[in-house]
Amino acid sequence: MEELKSMIRSIPNFPKEGIDFKDITTLLSDSRSFHRMIDLIAHRYFGQKIDQVVGVEARGFILGSVLAYKLGAGVTLVRKPGKLPFRIKSKDYALEYGTDSLEIHEDALKPGDRVIIADDLLATGGTVSAVVDLVESLGAEVVECAFMTELTFLNGRQRLPKDKVYSLLQFD
């Protein structure tokens, strides 16, 4: 895991002063590291009958789509306002440096669908907490929230369903 962690570049004071941004593009651009990271996360869910992987805009689209492919599942996108062309459900949420809103097509998930929510980073948990609410409002079951990385010192997993959070790499 330390080898994978070393592939993630830290950028201080981005997007604003005091934030230490974890840039995953360096890991994604290295084919060996990218394959290893996806295989390690996907292995956790083999044999669990996952119907959909929900990718969170925007970097969660990368992780979510590849996981869906590996698991033989569909991929559902949760987007920022105004990006989805059909009828939507929306949810406002607070994030570590402001507020925002997320949307999902109202027919994206069926009641009873078993879902993994995928994103690159768990920080304060506000974004994915909103996604959990959207998924559950459509009657789907959140199997787990899966992250490539987690900033453990921000305690984001406390805002998510108990025992339904997995992160491959942790930063203290």
Determine contact, residues 91/134, Cβ cutoff 8 Å: yes
Mapped onto helix, strand or coil, the DSSP state of residue 150 is strand
Determine contact, residues 118/146, Cβ cutoff 8 Å: yes
| pLDDT (average), residues 142-162 | 97
At 123-148, the pLDDT tens digits run: 989 999 999 999 999 999 999 999 99
- pLDDT score, position 143: 98
Q: What is the mean pLDDT of the chain?
A: 95
- pLDDT score, position 15: 86
Determine contact, residues 138/117, Cβ cutoff 8 Å: no
- Domains of the chain, residue spans: 49-171
From its phi and psi, is residue 72 left (phi > 0), alpha (psi between -120 and 50) or beta?
left
Residue 171's pLDDT band, with cuts at 50, 70 and 90, is very high
Question: 49-171 maps to which CATH number?
Answer: 3.40.50.2020
| pLDDT (average), residues 160-164 | 97
Share of the chain above pLDDT 70, in %: 98
Which amino acid is it at 25?
T
| pLDDT (average), residues 8-24 | 93
- pLDDT score, position 142: 98
Taking 90 as the threshold, does the pLDDT of residue 37 lie above it?
yes
96 catalytic? Reply is yes
Determine contact, residues 100/92, Cβ cutoff 8 Å: yes
Give the residue among 124, 61, 119 at the shortest CA–CA distance from 95.
124
Q: What is the pTM of this model?
A: 0.94
- pLDDT score, position 93: 86
> Pick the catalytic residue: 57, 96, 136, 141?
96
> Pick the catalytic residue: 59, 106, 114, 136?
59
- pLDDT score, position 5: 97
59 catalytic? Reply is yes
At 54-111, the pLDDT tens digits run: 999 999 999 999 999 999 999 999 999 999 999 999 999 876 667 899 999 999 999 9
Rounded distance between C-alpha atoms, residue 146 and residue 116, angstroms: 7
Determine contact, residues 104/134, Cβ cutoff 8 Å: yes
- pLDDT score, position 96: 60
